[in-house]
Amino acid sequence: MKKAAHLIVVYFITLCVSTLITAFLYMIFQSCMQMVAADTVQIFSFYYFRAGCMVCFPFAALFALLVQVISAIRNQNSSLLGFLVYLFFTLFTWLLLLPYVIASTPESYLQEESRSPQKLSTKLFRVENTIPIYYLDANADGSYQVLYIKKDIFMAFPIVEDFSYVSYSAPFYDPLLETSVGYPESIKKPVSMVINFYEAALKAVQSGKGAWLRFASVGLSIFALWVFAGASRWKMVNVFFVSGMFIFLFVLHIGLYTSFQIHMIIEKMWQHAPFSFVSSLYVPVIVHSFFSLLFFLLGFIKRFKKIKVGGAE
Amino acid sequence: MKTSMRVAFVTATHTSIFFIALFIFGAFSAELPKLFESSVLSYRLLCGLSLALDYMPALLLSGVLLGFSWAFSALDTKNILRFSPPLMQNFKIVLRISLLCAALCFCIAEVFIPLIKEGKNKMTSEIADFDWYYEMAQNSLDRENFTAAYFYNHTALAIADKDEKHKEKALKFAKTLEISDIRFRSLKAESQSNEEIVCDANQPHVIPVGKTATDLLILARSAFQSGNYFEAHYNAVLASSICGEENPNRKEMIQIASESWNKLEDWRDSNDTESALLFERKHAAFTALINNDVLEAYYSFNDLLHDYPTDPDVKKYAVVSEKKLKEQFFFFEETAFLKHFEVARDVYFTIPRADGGTILLYIRGISIMKGTGRLVQYLRGFNYVTYSKDNKMEMSCRVPFAKMTGESLDSFADTVYLNGLSGDRTIPVILLHSVSKINRDIKSTPVYEYGLNIPKMEYQFLVLPISLSDFNDACHASSGVKRMNLFDLCTFSQKAEDFGFSKSVFGTELGARVSYPFLMLLLFIVAAVFGWNFRLSHREMFKFTWIFVFPLAALIMKLAIEFTQYGLSMIYFILFAKLGIFSLLFVLLFYMVAIFFTSFRFLGMHGENFYEDEELEID
């Protein structure tokens, strides 16, 4: 009973804390995108914080589900009650919370904001596409008087003047801030995946209940990860296995929705396969059903073995 | 096995296996930029090493995490209570291992990764340098400046020493150069053209003479009495040039100068042919020296020294003229092969002028010569442009090689506008003209461009209105914030904006770099907490299949570290923007508190029987 209650508490605490942290970082990021270096820093914006809460909430909810499993591993909670609690929260998250929050997120939070024309600070270097550009002065029409340093010019003067340079940097208004706050190379891919996931989820929500159910099929295979909570006697192995599978399923799901290669393979398979009577829209459902069945099967075999051996974990 | 040994064993094995695997993977999957064929292998090795080192913190962290969670299975934790002696004992081990690993991570980030990056950059820049020297050689040939072309091509050849393909290219060029040079020499012999060298006599002396006018007058007097009229004339002229108009001795100085000159003229008429020839040459060289035509004086005395190595006048004035030459020029030969010691590349920054204008510098490469008493820097591909207060271009100047020395501020009492620098600071002085030690036909002079209504001034040297140490800091800064070392970053983050760099960029990086070892320490202690919570059951044997989780753990830890660092960098950014340099204190304080609480958390852990939990039996 106590352990089941613990699972409930873990879910809500994780949800709240991770939503707040990610929303806070989202707020900083969004503010920085609009900022100009050397200006006074205006970070705290309730608008962006609210937007951050709405946008990051679905991910925090998914994370909370993972933390529930990890918490179950820690407490060696493989009781029926724990299972039911986890089932409830999976259904609650995937069928109620996520579609509701995603649907009710105002569109203005998701669209790239039209930037209010600001002047970039001058007398500073900005490196754009590896070319250092010195901003001398701002013109009235929004362009700048700049000096490029062209490193590959050997024979002529490598410092070239441009009187009407327009800075096209995106997503940051000021490329200087991108060096501080922009995504480092190492996390660009994971971040773009997260964004793809959100876009696919949003599309599914907007396309109706059927589309959302198909999208939410990933919840099924993630749910099945519960069976690994007590799979190994080394809890750490369980944690890494479950987290790794969680990431794998997440990435696979994004691939099913966005990857061109995977779509090509599916199209080809569908042409030759005997199950072409099913629409290829149901591929994610089939894939995730397969994985969940596989996981459950593995889990039951493990449990069966354990009972047979008579060892208690 | 003791707990610490178990953790060390797991961590070391895990880290080294995956380190090697990543090294091999990195070496084979490296994307090669434009490189010399000969450096491809070492570049691949460095790529492998850099990938492996990049993953090293994640490997260590996952190793420690798994290590602790395995090592704690050796303890019978059932009856361990909070803050009990076994926990205290274990905490010591945790702290020791965490400190060691955090220090290792810090060293990797601050020492090894920069070294490898440096090595990789050196390899990619080698070919770029080859191209530069090769093109400079080509260009010099087009301008019929053969010796310069030789010099550039020779350096290109030295750079491409190990690369057959490029070496051949440079050798081929050397051959064309030889053919054209022979043709040129014969042409030149016919025309007998002699380039007129014009010097700006109004330039102030950079290097102070070191003697007062009175000293020089005394020297002139004694030289006159002993019949050494060259010296008498030289010292008298020098004395009269540095003393003021009102100096009471001025008259005497001029008198000694003219009298000794007359003596010399008399002497000329009363000599045999051999000495007359020598005297004629000495006289011409001396006249050039007195008229401040240092180039003519230097080459004349140099030639004389070659023909009459024992003549005392020749010996003395050869030294004097070389010294005077070096005030305005430097020898081309000094820069030969310097490129191999370039300490900074692609340096760019601005210097604000006191009148509101801006100076922008771009230097392709800087080499430092030490051990010559004072610091000398050679600037390759030196470009200089000035803008007025209202952003109009005033003057630009470029020269393939320049020599920079630090001069004391006192040398420029009123000649230069120095942005209010004061005290005994050293400021950079850049000599723009270079000449050859032996060949008077070789001269490298700057190319100027001027803005509208700007007087067309040419300079012998440029004085930069910043201190030498600021110059060096700015050089490091322009190579990128990631490549600056921690100490430079610390001092530079305060004054970045003066040199055209954003303060916040440097401040954020400083925050991230200073706090990195503390972050890692915290993460390692957190790993120990997790290790305890998810430990292997007591006396459980290790199963082979578990090793498949190890790479997964490393990957997950890598992701976790990257995201944590990214999130924190945003926090550092705001903190620096709000608090400036004090944000560092705040961040460090935060880490101290966090480390303290995590340690407390570790000590506050307990074994299975701590709670009277009825469900335990059911499971």
| A183 touches B at CB < 8 Å | yes
Amino acid letter, A59: F
Displacement of CA B51 from its chain's centroid (Å): 26
Rounded distance, CA A145 to CA A161, Å?
7
Pick from B135, B350, B383: which is nearest to A158 by CB?
B383
Q: How far is CA B30 from CA B23, B24, B46, B617, in A?
A: 10, 10, 9, 55
* Confidence bin at A116 (pLDDT 50/70/90): low
CA distance A183 to chain B (A): 7
Model confidence over A74-109: pLDDT tens digits?
Answer: 888 778 898 999 999 999 999 999 999 999 988 888
Tens digits of residue pLDDT in B35-51:
888 889 999 999 999 99
Q: What would the two tokens of residue A201 be?
A: 């989820």
Task: Report the candidate in B588, B536, B382, B569 with the shortest Cα–Cα distance to residue B471.
Answer: B382
B475 within 8 A of B549, measured Cβ to Cβ: no
Nearest to A136 among B66, B391, B537 (CB): B391
Contacting residues of A for B503, CB less than 8 Å apart? 38
The half-sphere exposure of B567 on its side-chain side, counting CA atoms within 13 A, is 16
Report the residue of chain A nearest B448, measured CA to CA.
Answer: A157
Average pLDDT, integer, range B372-401: 86
Whether A113 and chain B come into contact, CB under 8 Å, resolves to no
State which residue of chain B sits closest to A245, comparing Cα positions.
B552
B465-494 pLDDT, tens digit each? 888 888 888 888 888 888 888 888 888 888
CA trace torsion B269, B274, B279, B285 (10° rounding) = 140
Give the span between the Cα atoms of B111 and A166, in whole angstroms.
Answer: 39
Between CA A54 and CA A110 the distance in angstroms is: 10
Contact B386, B359 (CB under 8 A): yes
| Beta-ladder partners of B447 | B398
Residue of B573, B608, B611 to mutate, interface with A, max A Cβ within 10 Å: B573
pLDDT of B422 reads 58
Q: Is A150 on the interface with B (CB under 8 A)?
A: no
Q: Which residues 190-209 on chain A approach chain B with CB closer than 8 angstroms?
A: 190
Cα–Cα dist B222/B7, whole Å: 85
Give, in order, the Cα–Cα distances in Å from A214 to each of A55, A221, B66.
21, 12, 38
The distance of B308 to chain A (nearest Cα, Å) reads: 42
Kindly report which listed range (A152-161, B204-213, B283-292, B308-317) carries the lowest average pLDDT score: B204-213
The CA distance from A161 to A134, in Å, is 9
Among the partner-chain residues A29, A78, A155, the one whose CB lies closest to the CB of B135 is A155
Q: Phi and psi dihedrals of A245, rounded to 5?
A: -65, -40
DSSP 8-state symbol, B352: E
Burial class (CB in 10 A: 0-12, 13-18, 19+), B294: buried
pLDDT at B613 over 60: no
Q: What is the 3-state secondary structure (H, E, C) of B521-562?
A: HHHHHHHHHHHHHCCECCCCCCCHHHHHHHHHHHHHHHHHHH
The yes-or-no verdict on residue B209 having pLDDT over 80 is: no
Taking contacts as CB-CB distances below 8 angstroms, the residues of chain B near A145 are: 391
Give the closest-approach CA distance of A232 to chain B in angstroms: 9
B34, with CB counted inside 10 A (0-12, 13-18, 19+), is exposed
CA pair distance B373, B375, nearest whole angstrom: 7
**Each residue's pLDDT tens digit, A2-17:** 888 899 999 999 999 9
Q: What is the pLDDT of residue B206?
A: 36
Inter-chain touch A235–B536, beta carbons under 8 Å: yes
Per the CB < 8 Å rule, is A79 touching B613? no
Residue A299, classed as helix, strand or coil, is: helix
- Optimal mutation site among B113, B363, B544, B615, interface A, most CBs of chain A within 10 A: B615
CA-to-CA distance for A177 and A172, rounded, in angstroms? Answer: 7
Of A130-139, A146-155, B83-92, B326-335, the range with the lowest mean pLDDT is B326-335
Contact B534 A43 (CB under 8 A): no
Please check whether residue B347 is in contact with residue B361, taking contact to mean a CB–CB distance below 8 angstroms.
yes
In chain A, residues 202-241 whose CB comes closer than 8 Å to chain B:
232-241
The contacts of residue A76 (CB under 8 Å, 6+ apart) are: A230, A235, A313, B619
In this prediction, residue A308 has a pLDDT band, given cuts at 50, 70 and 90, of confident
Q: What type of residue sits at position A245? A: M
For residue B412, name the pLDDT band (cuts at 50, 70, 90): low
Distance, CA of A31 to CA of B591 (rounded, Å) = 26
Name the residue of chain A whose CA is nearest to B564's CA: A187
Does the beta carbon of A177 lie under 8 angstroms from any beta carbon of chain B? yes
The CA distance from A123 to A128, in Å, is: 15
Beta bridge partners of B385: B360, B396
Rounded to 5 degrees, φ, ψ at A168 are -105, 30
Burial label, B45 (beta-carbon count in 10 A; 0-12, 13-18, 19+): middle
For residue B414, the model assigns a pLDDT of 52
Does the structure show a pLDDT above 60 at B193?
no
d(CA B517, CA A251): 32
The encoded tokens of residue A45 equal 């914006």
pTM: 0.84
A-B C-beta contacts closer than 8 Å: 170
d(CA B349, CA B384): 10
Q: Which residue of B has its CA nearest to A135?
A: B500
Q: Which of A125, A183, A234 sits opposite B566 (nearest CB)?
A: A183
Q: What token pair was written down for B60?
A: 């260590």
Yes or no, beta carbons of B540 and A38 under 8 Å apart: no
How far from chain centre, in Å, is Cα B99? Answer: 33
Res B424: pLDDT: 59
* B385–A239 C-beta distance less than 8 A: no
Instruction: Say whether B531 and A236 touch across the interface (CB within 8 A).
Output: yes
Task: Among B500, B555, B565, select the one facing A124 at the smallest CB separation.
Answer: B500
How far are the Cα atoms of A133, B354, B362, B399, B429 from residue B388, in angstroms, in the given order?
Answer: 18, 11, 18, 22, 21
Question: Which residues of A are less than 8 Å from B502 in CB distance?
Answer: 37-38, 124, 176
Of A2, A41, A149, the CB nearest to B615: A2
The whole-number pLDDT of residue B538 equals 81
Of residues B531, B562, B570, nearest to A181 (C-beta): B570
What is d(CA B486, CA B510) in angstroms, rounded to the nearest whole number?
Answer: 7
Assembly ipTM: 0.92
A282 min Cα distance to partner chain B (Å) = 30
- Would you say residue B23 has pLDDT above 90? yes
Query: Measuring CA to CA, how many Å separate B257 from each of B175, B278, B357, B368, B578?
Result: 53, 21, 45, 42, 69
Instruction: For A35-73, give one letter per residue: b (16+ CB within 10 A) or e.
Output: bebbeebebeeeebbebbbbbbbbbbbbbbbbbbbbbbb
Distance separating the N- and C-terminal Cα atoms of chain A? 19
The closest alpha carbon to B69, from B523, B542, B601, belongs to B542
Q: Distance from CA of residue B611 to its chain's centroid?
A: 63
SS3 of A132, please?
strand
Quote the percentage of chain B above a pLDDT of 70. Answer: 87
What's the confidence (pLDDT) of residue B205? 39
pLDDT band at B162 (very low <50, low <70, confident <90, very high): confident
pLDDT digits (tens, 9 = 90+) for A173-218: 888 888 888 888 888 999 999 999 999 999 999 998 999 999 999 9
Nearest to B537 among A2, A184, A233 (CB): A233
Quick check: A271 contacting B, CB < 8 Å?
A: no
What whole-number distance in Å separates Cα of residue B617 and Cα of residue B619?
5
